[in-house]
Structure formats: C-alpha cells, structure tokens
Amino acid sequence: MKKLFLIPIMALLVVFGMSFTINGSKIEEQPDEAVASDYILFNGSWRAIDEQDCPGTGNTCKVKFTQNGTEYAVYDEMDDTLPKDSASEEAVLIDP
C-alpha cells in the first residue's frame, strides 16, 4: 500500500518526458541530393528541372524531352517574365 503513491508520480514523469519529444527538432533537414534550380512552364504549371548550363546571351535557353519534341523556355525562378539567357538557338535534349 505504501508504494501505490509512486504510480501517479511515475505517470507525471512520463508525461513530462514525452512533452519534450512531441515538438520535434528545430533544425531543418537538408536534402541529400542537389535541388532542381531551373524551371519550365509545362502545360500551364511549373515543373522543376536540373540546373541547365546555358552560357552566353542573346537567345532564350530552351530544353526538350525528345529529339523532335516540344521546346520549353528555361527560367531560373517561377517567373515567366525573365527567361534564362543562352548564346545558342538550339534546345538542349534532357532526360525527364
């Protein structure tokens, strides 16, 4: 009978300990892989693609998924007013 008072105390300790595990970590986890940093406007919605190397200026950087497929302008951000510059007029063939 003397040990029965320990049950509510133990329950309180468990609840107190669990309160530290519910909120989770404040540190954001970083992805292991490289994050896509270029975008295309594909059928009315933005689609992330790997960073494209488009050196030079004068033309719009373009990509396509198949040899004779549709060409898509490449953007650094999800903003269709500023396409990425390129020296080439040719679209780069990429793997989706």
Q: Which residues, at least 6 apart from 38, have a Cβ–Cβ distance to it below 8 Å?
A: 48, 49, 50, 51, 52, 74, 75, 76, 84
Residue 33 has what pLDDT? Answer: 59
**CA 66 vs CA 49, 59, 84: distances in Å:** 15, 21, 21
Instruction: Identify whether 55 is part of a domain.
Output: yes
Residue 75 has what pLDDT? Answer: 92
pTM tops 0.75, yes or no: no
Residue 27 has what pLDDT? Answer: 64
Structural domain boundaries, residue 72: 38-93
**CA 43 vs CA 48, 70, 74: distances in Å:** 13, 11, 14
pLDDT tens by residue, the chain, 96 residues: 667 778 888 888 888 887 777 555 566 666 665 566 889 998 889 999 988 888 888 899 999 998 888 999 999 888 888 899 998 888 889 876
Helical segments of 23-90, H only: none
Instruction: Identify whether 10 is part of a domain.
Output: no
For the chain, the domain total comes to 1
Instruction: Identify whether 7 is part of a domain.
Output: no
